[in-house]
Amino acid sequence: MTQTASVEHRMLLDTIERFCREVLAPKAAEIDRTGRSATCHLTGLSELGIMGLNLPEEHGGIGLPAPVLFEAVALMAAACGSTASMVTAHWLATDSVLIGGDDAIRARILPDAAAGIKLGAFALSEPGAGSNPAEMTAVATREGDHYRLSGTKHFISNAGEAGFIVVYAKTDKAAGARGISAFLVDPKRDGVRIFAPEQTMGLRGSHICEIAFDCTVPAMDRIGPEGSGFRTALKVLDAGRVEIAACSVGIAEAALAAAVDWSRQRKVGGVPIADFQGLQWMLADMATDIAAARALGLTAAGRREHGERFSKNASMAKLFASEMVDRVTDNALQIHGGYGYTAGLPLERYVRDCRIFRIFEGSSEIQRNIIARWVLDS
């Protein structure tokens, strides 16, 4: 838990931890096995205010400081990766409105989103434009008091259950990234087609879908001025990368805890395997990796909280943490031996769930490009 959290925030984190332990964790294996949507937890999450943790109080949220938000995400991910992914995807959508929108559109959307009445989806990626949004082909053409939106978005979390979708599209095809704008789209609008969820390796309760658009969108539902969408998306992705780092830390901590418990109980030749130096060194490396990832994540979150630029820090945190959790979960499974490979224990789920983190919100390769630019320009 972050040392800067107030007594009130510590109490809230304690409440979230109890909810995660008593409600999320017991259902995580069933959600993974059946592919049931993590939105089954939406009522409980909403009652605790979790759906609006990232939003200021004036928009119906709780307005947690960014370092405390980091810890809240880690708690959710440790209990159920699918639920953490569903919630943080919702935050990508609400952050888009908060950062890019005016007071009118914020007032229309954010209170219901914070209350969990409307689930948000963030539609940026396309089949041919994932790591480079500037190459998107979705287009929004102005026609009087509305826009004609056409194009396809891919791998969109929450799309099938969303109450609103934030869609990024080009309003000026000749302007590249500077021609991208953001729009608020009702998923029930004529001309919006949401396909069945993809069958994924992990995070099976956080459904991702393809969406095809051939619809009109009222001009009043544009988020911010024309051409401001790319800047908004970059700011949203910075926050999202810190949240991916938090998810990575949470799952890694769950894997380490399982490995420690197992090493104390499992005996070879009558001796707990925890007594073997080779295993102790594995646990030491795992704990050190997690501490380093948390430090990077909290540094980025702290800069965000103080209104400082944190793009480099977010990329560093996301890069290190997303690769760290692969190492930690793999070692935890190794410590469990053959038992770790079975579905009776959560280790194999942890391994599957965390693999996407090296791709979400910009791949590891993209993060290295971002960090390198900062290094070379300094």
Domain ranges of the chain: 7-114, 120-230, 234-377
Identify the CATH number of the domain defined by range 7-114. 1.10.540.10
Whether pLDDT at 110 is above 80 = yes
Identify the CATH number of the domain defined by range 234-377. 1.20.140.10
pTM beyond 0.85: yes
* Class of the domain covering 120-230: mainly beta
Question: Quick one: which H or E segment has residue 268?
Answer: strand 267-268
User: Model confidence over 134-180: pLDDT tens digits?
Assistant: 789 999 999 999 999 999 999 999 999 999 999 999 999 999 999 99
For tokens 């759906």, name the residue: 51
- Mean pLDDT over all residues of the chain? 96
- The tokens describing 249, both together, are 């830390």
Contact 198, 205 (CB under 8 A): no
CA distances from 179 to 97, 152, 229, 308, 357 (A): 18, 17, 8, 26, 29
Which residues are catalytically annotated? Answer: 361
* Contacts by residues 193-201 (CB-CB < 8 Å, ≥ 24 positions apart): 194/159, 194/160, 196/160, 197/35, 197/160, 198/155, 199/35, 200/356, 201/352, 201/355, 201/356
Q: Note the pLDDT of residue 64.
A: 96
Query: In sequence order, what are the residues at sequence separation of 6 or more whose Cβ sits closer than 8 angstroms to the Cβ of residue 377?
Result: none
Q: Note the pLDDT of residue 133.
A: 78
Q: Note the pLDDT of residue 160.
A: 97
User: Model confidence over 305-351: pLDDT tens digits?
Assistant: 999 999 999 999 999 999 999 999 999 999 999 999 999 999 999 99
